[in-house]
Structure 1
Amino acid sequence: MADEDWGAVVRLLWGPAVEPARGPKRGLTLGGIAEAGVAIADAQGLGGVSMQLVAGELGVTKMALYRYVPGKGELVALMVEAALPDPAGLDAETAAQDGWRERLGVWARALFAGFRAHPWLLEATVGARVMGPREVGWMERALAAMDGCALSGAEAMDAVVLVSGHVRGIAEQERAMGGGSAGPDAGLAKALDEVMREHGEGYPALTAALASVAAHGGQDQALEFGLERIFDGIGLLVEGRR
């Protein structure tokens, strides 16, 4: 979406709900339009969403839908806002945690759950774009989780980007493996199984690692392992500042 189109998105996401100036009233709301788009994206992926399909789901013409939403870019922005969990739901859980590490861990796991519930969000939440109140609220709560760490604002922002990048990476792997509860590690092991049986002698380190996982567990801990190591690194910086 071009920068000059952002004004319409800002008004849709942040402004008061406005009835279309003309045309018949059909009981449409921005929330209902977004929910219809989310349902289609959950079933068919983001590429399956179109103004025509959303209009059909709502029982109106595409032209009627345009009176509320100017185009697909604005529609996707509304869908992201509707699909993201309300960050206010994190407040009680994070308030019960003792330190920044635990608070940021709650935030990261909740973000991962959101991506798992709506995998198309991974595609819809990249690049320069206007973010809605919920998405901005997620960023606010991540930074608030690090309050008191003695880091600069830039460092805190970079830490949040690092954590969210790890969460997104694991969610992307899980999505590529077809989702489900098995996780990306299990999918990778399954994909490698036949190859390793035939050619494992050429890859002794990988063969040994897979055998260890099979014998002792630890599979599909990449999300938690990565979070803990990232927090270890941030912790060293925090302690140095103190």
Structure 2
Amino acid sequence: MTELLWGKEPVRTRGPKPAITLAQIAAAGIAIADAEGLDAVSMQRVADDLPVTKMALYRHVPGKTELVAVMSDLAMGGPPELPDGPWRPMLHAWASELYDGFMRHPWLLQSTIGRRPLGPNELSWMERGLAGLSGSGLTGGEQLDSVLVITSHVRNIAQQSSTFPGHTTGLTEEDMTRSLAEILSTEAARFPHLVAAMSTAAGSENQGLEFGLQRILDGLDLLIRSRVAVPDRIETLPVDRRG
């Protein structure tokens, strides 16, 4: 799988030139997943949509697991160019772009979890996020954990906000808000704190993305400032042991 992710297809030494490429196969799989969800992707379905024989796909990719891995890295694309300057706006822009990517391809929330080989685009996203923390004073482990925490928050909000093709209730955000308001109008005594909070809440369900992201960045800011404020070496005065 690693070889496929990094563009190292099996070398063909004989036979006619393939009619399709791995990139074309992955693009067809992405189109299916975007429209109908990841469960709709199969080797036969991709072959039908191209159209080629199913066996033609197996000349490029062993099966669906490997195909989804290539699809995921291709769908993620390369990371954004971050603005020059302080680390905080750089990471904020990085997180916002990551969220937009998940919203364009919600099935990525399913396909990019767990221990698995990573492709060049996914690693490039990690590299770009870490670049924002370069020179911050954080250790390498802390930088990696910072990117992980931000990514986890973005994934969580995207998962709550996404409508997965093939796994949808058919409700919009407005439908959900209206339904909740109707319930609370008759159950206010049972949920007083929820009613009170909802009465002053404003904005869309995605406001949690910005709120949580800012709190994470606030915490990183405190940690980074503490590293700058503490000198690398503490000078101590000699102890007078006379008397």
Do they superpose with TM above 0.5? yes
Q: C-alpha distance in 2, partners of 1:20/1:58?
A: 21
Q: C-alpha distance in 2, partners of 1:13/1:99?
A: 33
User: What residue is the counterpart of 1:86 in the other structure?
Assistant: 78
Bigger fraction of residues in helix: 1
Q: C-alpha distance in 1, partners of 2:163/2:181?
A: 18
Q: 1:179 to 1:121 in 2, by over 3 A?
A: farther
Read off the aligned partner of 1:174 and give its amino acid letter: S
Q: Percent identity?
A: 47
User: What residue is the counterpart of 1:49 in the other structure?
Assistant: 41
Alpha-carbon shift at residue 176 of structure 1 (Å): 5.2
Q: C-alpha distance in 2, partners of 1:152/1:187?
A: 46
- Whether contact under 8 Å (1:166, 1:223) holds in the other structure is yes
Alpha-carbon shift at residue 189 of structure 1 (Å): 2.9
User: Which one is further off, 72-81 or 25-34?
Assistant: 25-34
Read off the aligned partner of 1:169 and give its amino acid letter: N
TM-score normalized with structure 1 length: 0.85
Q: 1:179 to 1:17 in 2, by over 3 A?
A: farther
Q: 1:190 to 1:19 in 2, by over 3 A?
A: farther
- Whether contact under 8 Å (2:95, 2:154) holds in the other structure is yes
Q: 1:21 to 1:128 in 2, by over 3 A?
A: farther
Q: C-alpha distance in 2, partners of 1:232/1:179?
A: 36
For this pair of structures, how many residues does the alignment match? 223
User: What residue is the counterpart of 1:175 in the other structure?
Assistant: 162
Q: C-alpha distance in 2, partners of 1:57/1:103?
A: 40
User: What residue is the counterpart of 1:109 in the other structure?
Assistant: 96
Q: 1:33 to 1:104 in 2, by over 3 A?
A: same
- Whether contact under 8 Å (2:30, 2:75) holds in the other structure is yes
TM-score normalized with structure 2 length: 0.85
Matched, 1:134 2:105: no
Matched, 1:192 2:184: no
Alpha-carbon shift at residue 71 of structure 1 (Å): 0.6
Q: Which of 198, 212, 216 in structure 2 is aligned with 1:230?
A: 216
- Whether contact under 8 Å (2:47, 2:57) holds in the other structure is yes
- Whether contact under 8 Å (1:84, 1:134) holds in the other structure is yes
Alpha-carbon shift at residue 78 of structure 1 (Å): 1.0
Q: Which runs of 5+ in 1 are unaligned?
A: 1-8
Q: Which of 205, 212, 215 in structure 1 is aligned with 2:193?
A: 205
Q: C-alpha distance in 2, partners of 1:190/1:237?
A: 41
Larger gyration radius, structure 1 or structure 2: 2
Q: C-alpha distance in 2, partners of 1:120/1:128?
A: 17
Q: What's the Cα RMSD here?
A: 2.1
User: What residue is the counterpart of 1:13 in the other structure?
Assistant: 5
Q: 1:23 to 1:57 in 2, by over 3 A?
A: farther
Alpha-carbon shift at residue 50 of structure 1 (Å): 0.2
CA shift digits 1:146-182 (9 cap, x unpaired): 11110111111111111000000000001259699x7
